[in-house]
Structure 1
Amino acid sequence: MKKGVAALFVVVVMAALAHETVAVTCNPMELMPCFGPITTGAAPTTQCCTNLKAQQPCFCQYKNDPQFKDYIDSANAKKLAATCKVTIPTDC
């Protein structure tokens, strides 16, 4: 019986660790719901904030891409990040 409990414990712990290490796929198209707020300063939708939070680990990658850098560094992006409670890194 003890072996069964121990095995179950290991499975539960491994499942929890696997959940924590889910990789994020960096896809700037996921931020399309935020296009209006970034370009015009409009209020973000819930979908925008949800996607922004999901893509947060990718911000340095986007910031280092000349195609997206101006959007990430814009005043509207900073306003959007504050509204969605997301931090844009400065040390990339």
Structure 2
Amino acid sequence: MTRTLQTDAQVCNLFSLSPCLGTALFFIPPSGVCCRRLRDQVPCLCMYTQGMGYGQLLESGARRVAQGCGVVLPPCYIK
């Protein structure tokens, strides 16, 4: 079952970021699909790490993917 949530006109679906797994886990450069999906899911990232309990599992990988895609992470990632 895929877990999806809706924010203001945004569908949050962590599994849509699966094209980014190679970058997050194995330091493979991100693909165009990965970067597009990351940009679509930026409004959901805080919820994934805080509200859904994925926390540190996503935090370092998300930073790596965001850097590779030139995406600015939301304030929840700035510590």
Structure 1: distance between partners of 2:56 and 2:27: 14
Instruction: Give the letter aligned to residue 67 of structure 2.
Output: A
Local SS of the residue matching 2:75: coil
1:79 aligns with 2:79: no
Cα distance in 2, alignment partners of residues 23 and 62 from structure 1: 17
Cross-structure match for 2:14: 28
Pair member with larger Rg: 1
% of aligned pairs identical? Answer: 32
TM-score (norm 1): 0.65
**How many equivalent residue pairs?**
69
CA contact (8 A) 2:46 2:74 kept: yes
Q: What TM-score does the superposition give when structure 2 sets the normalisation length? A: 0.75
Unaligned runs of 5+ in 2: 1-7
Bigger share in strand: 2
Runs of 4+ that moved beyond 3 A = none
User: SS where residue 73 of structure 1 aligns?
Assistant: helix
8 Å CA contact retained: 2:42, 2:74: no
> Gaps (5+ residues) in structure 1?
1-21
